[in-house]
A and B are shown apart, each in its own frame.
Chain A
Amino acid sequence: MSERKNPIPWWGRLELRVVAALVLLGTLCVGSSAYLVGLTVSYFDARWADALDQAVLVTDDVGEFHGRLVAAKIAEYEARTRASGMELALGDTAAAPAEDRTRLLDLLQREPDLVGLAWVRPTGARAEVDRADEYPEDRFEWFEASFDLTLPGGRTAGQLRAVYRIDPEIDARFQHVGARRREIVRQQRDKSDIEAAVIRVFGLASATVLAFALTIGVLVARTTTRKVSQLSRVMARVAHGDLRARARLAGRDEIAQLGAAFNGMLDELAHAQDRLAYLQRIGAWQEMARRIAHEIKNPLTPILLAVQQLREKDPGLSPEFSRMLGSAAEIVEDEVEGLRRMVTSFSQFAKVPEVRVARVELARILEEFERAYGHLTEREADVLAVGSVDPSLTVDADRQLLKQVLVNLVENAVLSAREAGRDPVQVEVSVEIVEPWIEIRVDDNGPGVPEAARDRVFEPYHTTRAQGTGLGLAIVKKIILDHGGEVRVAASPLGGARFVVLLPPHPRSEFEDASASVTEG
């Protein structure tokens, strides 16, 4: 059968619709999250901006105070220089300039942040003291102040120059504030960049999540829709009459279960079709057998009576004639008897009674069968073994017909084994529960049924035995099909054939109980 072309365009397929729904859902979720994130960021952004403005104002204040501090320190250094100069001028004795250095040294020792002092007299004489080795200029900032020494009366005593060590802590702390201020200003300046970067990161993360969701969605949707599509294709093939089509759906989801149920339904349908076809064939054969039996049976009695009359009316004048007549009459009677037996078989086949089911213990059927047919053959060595069965195991069956089935199967087994020269003949009847069936097995040590012939062995008038009519197994199959069961043939562990009758268990609860008891027992 050619594959039907799919008329659905790609944009109208279920797979794309499912994916589109997932994308839409994901976009809605991510969009909602983005909006909430935007609100949150805006809220904290306003708080942040306000805090940054306040921080900048604080650093501006620090800068202003630092300027005032520097100015105050400069004024202090100048004032201290002036005071030191006044002290030097007031105690000055121009007659003893050699003492200038001693007086400067005294001042230097009193002022711990003084790096050096220099006194330059109007005459050019210069006295200097310092401790530059303690405060080297490459490590400390210096500040230099000078004061003209003027004595009362207008006399000048020269100029005092003082160098002070600026406290490094002042600059260090100020620069520390400067570093913080730069960071704050940068935060203000880069606010828009950072916001844009945050949005990009969020967008990237959202896109990643969406892509991930899309990938998963595509995989899930494809897995699901492929199953649906395959199921749809199989249904289309079945609708076109291809009952062999089956859906192969992996997984354990609902669609896989649907596919399994659909396959089961197709199996049932095919089985029912086979059963119906077989029963129709059997029905046709039965009708033919009934007519043949009718047409043959009617003239047999007159033929037999006529032969008997001929034998009785023999005058006995000629021994030769009498001998020929007796021989001919005997032949005719034998053939008539053969025809009668065949007619009987045909009649039995044509008149297989209708199945009337009733709940019956399987053990009882087997017991009755063993009691009636336990002798099997006239030879003592031949063995019929009937297995034990749980007495509570019941089936809904026609007891007489089920016994007929066993008789036909056992007779077929015995005759096949005997024709094959088996000595002794072994036949075993056993019952097994193989869910969902109850199996009645008939094993023999005969020649068995070749695998190629197993499909035809139940067809009417098909036989592998020289003396067989080919009706016994056909009757068996018809009876079992009428019971809703099946019959199969396989190889037996005894070396011959195994005929397996499968009967449906009824009721279910009792089947389960029986199954449990068989397992235990």
Chain B
Amino acid sequence: MRRRDLLRGFVAMPVVAVARPNMPPVKLVATFEEVGSSVLMTLSLPTLFRKYDKDALESIDSGFDTSLHFTLKVWQHGKNRLIETREVLVRIRRDPWKKRYVVSTREGGEWSKRTFTDRESAVAAAVKLDRVRIAAAAALERGEDAPDYFVTVFAQRNPLEPADDFAGSTSAQGRDLEWFGRLVDVLAGERALAEETVHVRTNRFYLVSR
């Protein structure tokens, strides 16, 4: 073995040891429809609340809010060009006053509320993006020669606010600690962002000619 090969292997060792890529998005089938001037999408993400995730389900029954944060990005297929980004926020909780489950949804800046008598129905409603507006139809090309589009959804259950435990320190050690904390968060991966994360890429869709 040549010395140079030995040196290369030695230099590459820490990189290989630390590398921990996030999981690629899962492919799921969504339905798309054009209603008026909007393109709507319906997609269910049941893995956000797994049936055996006892802690998550009990957390709902405890009365505490469980929030679901959906980030929807519309991409042009082939070029990976970002067309539009939208945010949907869902809260699910048990109302101890009225003994029912409440699912609140904020889409486009407005809140809407639905109530359910049983938890399963409330959870199913919460994890389902039901006819959510993903883009204005005018923002997408239509026709046979028009490109296809797809949507990526990054869903987080109880996303965490960025930790600033170490921020604001003026000492040299404090600044080092801040960088250390950030590096740890990065290396901890997506699990550090929320209780549960789901990354989905939908099937392609296109707009027909009018």
Contacts and interface: CB of A to CB of B under 8 A. Distances in A.
A178 interface: yes
Contact of A178 (B65, B95, B188, B192): B65
A375 interface: no
B13 interface: yes
B187 A67 contact: no
Contact of B96 (A67, A175, A181, A204): A67
A67 B99 CA distance: 11
B146 interface: no
Contact of B64 (A141, A182, A190, A204): A182
Contacts of B184: 194, 197-198, 201
B183 interface: yes
Contacts of B10: 211, 214
Contacts of B20: 200
**Interface centre among A143, A177, A182, A185, by most B CB within 10 Å?**
A182
Interface in B95-137: 95-98
Interface string B14-29: 1001101000000000
A179 B195 CA distance: 12
Contacts of A301: none
B71 interface: no
Nearest to A206: B14
A166 B97 contact: yes
Nearest to B113: A138
A185 B185 CA distance: 17
Contacts of A326: none
A187 B179 CA distance: 19
B17 A178 contact: no
Contacts of A207: 13-14, 17
B50 interface: no
Contacts of A74: 97
Interface residues of A, number: 35
Interface string A63-84: 1001100100010000000000
A211 B11 contact: yes
A177 B20 CA distance: 34
Contacts of B62: 63, 178
Contacts of B185: 197
B191 interface: yes
Nearest to B195: A186
B138 interface: no
Contact of A211 (B14, B158, B160): B14
A348 B160 CA distance: 110
A141 B189 contact: no
Nearest to B17: A203
A210 to B, nearest CB: 8
Interface string A205-234: 001100100100000000000000000000
B64 A175 contact: yes
Contacts of A214: 10
A267 B10 CA distance: 46
A436 to B, nearest CB: 47
A218 to B, nearest CB: 9
B14 to A, nearest CB: 3
Nearest to A182: B158
Given A74-B97, A194-B188, A197-B187, A203 B14 contact: yes
A174 B94 CA distance: 13
Nearest to B97: A143
B63 interface: yes
Contact of B63 (A63, A189, A200, A201): A63
A204 B18 contact: yes
A335 interface: no
A193 interface: yes
Interface string B169-207: 000000000001001110111011001000000000000
A10 interface: yes
B97 A70 contact: yes
A75 to B, nearest CB: 12
B54 interface: no
Contacts of A204: 14, 17-18, 183
Given A193-B189, A207-B14, A182 B3 contact: no
Nearest to A10: B3
Nearest to B186: A197
Interface string A242-255: 00000000000000
Contact of B187 (A16, A174, A200): A200
Interface of A: 10, 16, 63, 66-67, 70, 74, 141, 143, 166, 174-175, 177-179, 181-183, 185-186, 189-190, 193-194, 196-198, 200-201, 203-204, 207-208, 211, 214
5 contacts: A16-B3, A74-B97, A177-B64, A190-B191, A207-B17
9 A-B pairs closest in CB distance: A178-B64, A207-B14, A197-B187, A197-B188, A70-B96, A197-B184, A193-B188, A200-B18, A204-B18
Given A200-B17, A207-B14, 19 more contacts: A66-B96, A67-B63, A67-B96, A174-B63, A178-B62, A178-B63, A178-B65, A181-B64, A182-B64, A183-B160, A185-B55, A185-B195, A190-B188, A193-B189, A194-B188, A200-B18, A201-B187, A207-B13, A211-B14
